[in-house]
Each structure stands twice: as C-alpha cells, then as structure tokens.
C-alpha cells in the first residue's frame, strides 16, 4: 500500500540530512551526505559556495526517494543554519559566496546597526544576518532586484522556483520585529537598497509545488508541496516534542544551550537572551560558554564513559567549579572577563569529573533561574539533547540540582523536526496535527515517538 509521506531536510555546516516520515511520524527513509568544509581566512571570513548546498540537497533527496518507493511525498520542509546569508538575483543565481553563521568580518556593519537599532534587537552584532547583508552589499555592489536570502530560503527557492521569501525564525537576526512579523522603520536608515528584504511567512506556510526542474533532479513528484522553513535549532526543539509553556530543552553539546517555551517573548541582550516565535508560543533561550568543550580538555570518550560509571550523583563533591574553556561568559551572567574556576583539582579523576559535571549543572540551574527572573515560565520538565543526554550520572546530578524531571529526548535531530513541520503545516501546537493537550497521554504517536525517554 502506498503511504503518504512528509520530508524534512536539515542543512548543517558539515552535512545535509533528509528524513521521511509517515502520517504516524514513523521514519520510513533516511539519507545523508557530507558537505565540504567552508573556506576560512585570517580575517575571520567563513564562506561557502551555495551551489554545494544545492548539489547536496539533490543527492539526499534522490537517495531518499529511491529508498522509499512505498510512500508518496506530500510536503517538504527544510531548516538551515541561522544567520547564514547570501545575495542572489531574482532568478536565484548567487552573486558570490554565502557568509556562514560564524563569519566574523561584519564588525564595521555591526557598528552601523548599533547606531540605529534598538539595543534589544537580535540584529545587533557582527554575527547577525543584517550585518552580513551590509557587508555583502559593500563587497559585491549588487544591482536592482537583488535578494537577501538565508540558507534555507535559497534552497527552498530552488525547489519551489520562488525566491525572495523567508520565515520569521530565520529573519529574526535580519531585523524582523518578532511580535508583528514586520520590518521595522529603523532599517531604512541603513541604506539597504537596492537589496530587497524577503517577504516573511510563518514556518510551514506553503510556498508552492516543487518545480519541474527540481522534480526531475530530486525524484520528488511534482505534486509535492514546498513549505517555508526554519532555523536548525528551532527544528531540533520541534523534534523533541516541546510545545507547552514550561517545556524546557537543554542541549549538552560543546556549549550549554537552554531553551524554554513561553507565552510571551523575552529579549535581554545583556544576558544573551532572545526569543524565537514558536507557533503560537515563543522559544526563549540563552547559551553559556560552559559545556562539553571543557570536559574534552581533560577526558576522551572512553575515559568519560568509564569514569561516569563510578560517580555518585547523590553524593556532592563540594567542589565549587565554574567550568569555562577560556575567560568570558555569555549566559546566565554576561561577563567578558569571568575567569574559569577549576581549582583545586583532586587526585581522583572521577571526583574531578563529577565536580565539572556539578559545575555545569549549577550553571544550567542558574540559567533557568535567570530566564524565570526575566519573566519566562518555570520549567516543568527538561528534555535533553546533545552528547551529554545519555550520561546517566550527569542526568542524576542535574535532577538533584534542578528539582524537576530531566529526560533525554528520544528524537532530537533537526531533520526530524523539519519533517514534523511538513506533516502539520507549521510548528506543532494547538490547531496542528500535534495537539499539546494530548502531551504525554500516549494518544498521539508523533508525541509518543519524539518526546520523552526516561
């Protein structure tokens, strides 16, 4: 029997992954391919040719459709790295390389933005999409009709044949006013013309059907609906099943990233806090410089596994560490001069590791307190993603310090989150196929499959 399917694509820094799910959100096919490393220079430039993204997208979709003969794709959604930007002509032809999210050359442009933008705007800073737009305008000398497109925007334009459209998550750092979904008047003072800002729609809004050229290249049937995308981090949160106010997601990766679903947005740049529109809710978050990168300085994977099995999560070490890889912290305290606190180091490596894990867990707890102080709801449970999510000892320490349920998310891949958006036609929530009123009830197999793993 031919089943309806929904495709999610995640385009990251090092690779492209596609996932197809059925109506019950079970994965029916997967495909992935690597991307070449971005080109870096001594001035802080990090660039990539957008055509390598398109070629990778074609490869994964052709592989996916070949592996899933028993399903018919109905819709596709795609996420990309936040604040990765290029300029293209109205037909989608890039004017030059894209600036990646971590390109650091737009400092002069950031100073121009700081003179006109509100202090709380997420468009502040050299890493913003807006700063990159100004940098590229000066560098490329674009003509009339030039479009500013994020990574996800441009790839979805290739599939749909419609360029010049973006979503409200990607446009946050381009200067979009998140509450109204409109471009604010202060942008006119930056002289962006002749570059045109995108028309902004909600993630999951229909852009059209796959065009004939892309259908032939990818194997997608021409009836496949192409939907507006989102950022990679937002798609990853969708994958966890977090949708209700108080649902929190901690990513234990190289850094420590906290996000919590709230009813109202919160922006506090002095604490590194900003909010993405998240369906009918808001995704409020901050990122500490602490995290797994500190652990990697002292232990490899095998050592972490062996030592973690010996720890006593219910027996605090008494070590008062603030684990940082280098001086400086962004969240929950913003202090460029904050020094790492990693002394004294005990002779017992297990005790030292537990002290590090306790220190990171204290930062996590302080982060949620900071968000609560700024008006976010208190977390009612914490879903965990990243490499540290499977460390049972660390989970025990975090449960003790947070005092609420802490669980590993069964699904945390951004591509899966994009597939859920394709299935529901938007970020899951009230009015979509994933109703938060059924959260945890076991009635919806999508939530049951993506939300919690104790």
**Whole domain around residue 111: which residue ranges?**
3-233
Say whether both 77 and 224 belong to one domain: yes
The answer to whether residue 421 sits within a structural domain is: no
Q: Is residue 439 domain-resident?
A: no
More confident residue, 164 or 125: 164
257 and 109 together in one domain: no
Helix (H, G, I), strand (E, B) or coil at 11: strand
> Residue 68 — very low, low, confident or very high, per pLDDT cuts 50/70/90?
confident
Distance CA 159, CA 92 (A): 11
pLDDT at 170 over 50: yes
Q: How many domains does the chain have?
A: 2
Is residue 432 assigned to a domain? no
What mean pLDDT comes out for the span 126-132? 93
Q: Is the peptide bond before 332 cis (omega within 30 degrees of 0)?
A: yes
**In Å, what is the CA distance from 41 to each residue of 38, 47, 97, 105?**
10, 9, 13, 10
Express each pLDDT in 344-403 by its tens digit: 999 999 999 999 999 999 999 999 999 999 999 999 999 999 889 999 999 999 999 999
Q: Are residues 103 and 80 in the same domain?
A: yes
Name the pLDDT band for 17 (thresholds 50, 70, 90).
very high
Which tens digit of pLDDT belongs to each residue from 409-438? 999 899 999 999 999 999 987 544 444 333
Question: Which of 64-68, 333-337, 362-366, 440-444 is predicted with the least confidence, judged by mean pLDDT?
Answer: 440-444
Do the domain assignments include residue 423?
Answer: no
Read off the pLDDT of residues 256-273 as tens digits, 9 standing for 90 and up: 999 999 999 998 878 889
| Average pLDDT, integer, range 159-173 | 96
In the prediction, which pLDDT does 12 show? Answer: 86
User: Over the Cα atoms of the chain, what is R_g?
Assistant: 22
The pLDDT of residue 54: 98
The pTM assigned to this predicted structure is 0.86
Q: How confident is the model at residue 446 (pLDDT cuts 50, 70, 90)?
A: low
94, 170: one domain: yes
Same domain, 85 and 109: yes
pLDDT at 1 over 90: no
Answer whether 266's CB lies under 8 Å from 273's CB: yes
Last residue within a domain, chosen from 182, 206, 233: 233
Residue 144 is assigned to a structural domain of this protein: yes
Q: Which of 221, 234, 88 is nearest to 165 (CA)?
A: 88
Q: Average pLDDT of 213-237?
A: 95
Structure-token match 């540290």, residue found: 388
220 and 85: one domain?
A: yes
DSSP H helical ranges for 104-176: 107-116, 129-140, 151-160
Kindly state whether residues 187 and 308 are assigned to the same domain. no
**Banded model confidence at residue 442, pLDDT cuts 50, 70, 90:** very low
Banded model confidence at residue 450, pLDDT cuts 50, 70, 90: very low
**pLDDT attached to residue 269:** 79
Note the pLDDT tens digit of each residue in 97-114. 999 988 889 999 999 999
Does 454 map to a domain? Answer: no
The four Cα atoms 183, 284, 154, 431 give a dihedral, to 10 degrees, of -90
Q: Are residues 86 and 52 in the same domain?
A: yes
Domain boundary residue among 390, 408, 426?
A: 408
Q: Would you say residue 444 lies in a domain?
A: no
Mean pLDDT across the chain, nearest whole number? Answer: 91
DSSP, collapsed to helix, strand or coil, labels residue 141 as coil
Are 104 and 59 members of one domain? yes
Chain-centroid distance of CA 167 in Å reads: 14
| CATH code: domain of residue 119 | 3.30.420.40
Lookup: tokens for 292: 């797994």
Same structural domain, 100 and 193: yes
What is the token pair recorded at 174?
A: 């381009």
What values do phi and psi take at 30, rounded to 5? -140, 155
- Looking at residue 315, its pLDDT comes to 96
The pLDDT score that the predictor gives to residue 309 is 96
For range 401-408, the mean pLDDT: 95
Strand order in the sheet with 274-278: 274-278, 281-288, 256-262, 247-252, 381-385, 406-408
> What proportion of the chain, given as a percentage, has pLDDT over 90?
79
Residues 278 and 390 in one domain: yes
Q: Which of 128, 197, 149, 130 shows the shortest CA–CA distance to 53?
A: 149
**Residue 325 and residue 355 in one domain:** yes
State the pLDDT at residue 363. Answer: 97
User: What beta strand segments (E) does 46-113 contain?
Assistant: 46-48, 71-80, 85-88, 98-99
Establish if 160 belongs to a structural domain.
Answer: yes
DSSP letter (8 states) at residue 197: P
How many C-beta atoms surround the C-beta of residue 223 within 10 A? 12
Which of 204, 233, 262 delimits the end of a domain?
A: 233
């Amino acid at each position: 029997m031919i089943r309806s399917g929904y495709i999610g694509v995640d385009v990251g820094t090092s690779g492209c992954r596609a996932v197809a799910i059925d109506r019950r959100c079970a994965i029916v096919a997967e495909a992935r391919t690597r991307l070449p490393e971005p080109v870096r220079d001594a001035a802080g430039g990090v660039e990539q040719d957008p055509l390598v993204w398109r070629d990778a997208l074609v490869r994964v979709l052709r592989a996916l459709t070949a592996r899933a003969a028993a399903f018919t794709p109905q819709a596709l959604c795609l996420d990309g790295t936040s604040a990765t930007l290029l300029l293209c002509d109205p037909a989608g032809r890039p004017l030059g390389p894209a600036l990646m999210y971590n390109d650091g050359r737009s400092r002069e442009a950031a100073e121009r933005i700081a003179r006109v933008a509100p202090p709380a705007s997420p468009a502040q800073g050299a890493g913003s999409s807006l700063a990159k737009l100004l940098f590229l305008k000066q560098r490329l000398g674009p003509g009339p009709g030039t479009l500013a497109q994020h990574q996800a925007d441009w790839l979805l334009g290739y599939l749909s044949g419609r360029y010049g459209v973006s979503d409200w998550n990607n446009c946050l750092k381009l200067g979009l006013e998140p509450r109204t979904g409109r471009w604010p008047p202060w942008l006119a003072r930056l002289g962006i013309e002749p570059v045109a800002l995108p028309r902004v729609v909600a993630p999951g809004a229909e852009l059209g059907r796959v065009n004939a050229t892309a259908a032939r290249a990818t194997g997608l049937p021409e009836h496949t609906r192409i939907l507006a995308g989102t950022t990679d981090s937002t798609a990853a949160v969708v994958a966890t099943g977090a949708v209700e106010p108080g649902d929190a997601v901690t990513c234990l990766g190289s850094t420590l990233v906290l996000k919590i679903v709230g009813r109202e947005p919160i922006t506090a740049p002095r604490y590194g806090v900003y909010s993405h529109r998240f369906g009918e809710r808001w995704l409020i978050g901050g990122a500490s410089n602490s995290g797994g990168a500190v652990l990697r300085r002292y232990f490899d994977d095998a050592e972490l596994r062996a030592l973690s099995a010996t720890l006593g999560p219910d027996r605090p070490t008494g070590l008062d560490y603030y684990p940082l890889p280098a001086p400086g912290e962004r969240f929950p305290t913003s202090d460029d001069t904050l020094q790492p606190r990693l002394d004294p180091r005990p002779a017992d490596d297990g005790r030292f590791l537990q002290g590090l894990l306790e220190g990171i867990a204290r930062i996590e707890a302080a982060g949620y307190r900071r968000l609560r102080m700024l008006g976010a709801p208190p977390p009612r449970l914490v879903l965990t993603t990243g490499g540290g999510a499977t460390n049972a000892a660390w989970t025990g320490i975090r449960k003790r310090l947070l005092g609420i349920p802490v669980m590993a998310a069964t699904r945390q891949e951004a591509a899966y989150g994009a597939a859920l958006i394709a299935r529901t036609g938007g970020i899951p929530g009230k009015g979509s196929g994933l109703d938060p009123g059924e959260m945890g009830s076991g009635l919806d197999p999508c939530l049951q499959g993506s939300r919690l793993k104790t």
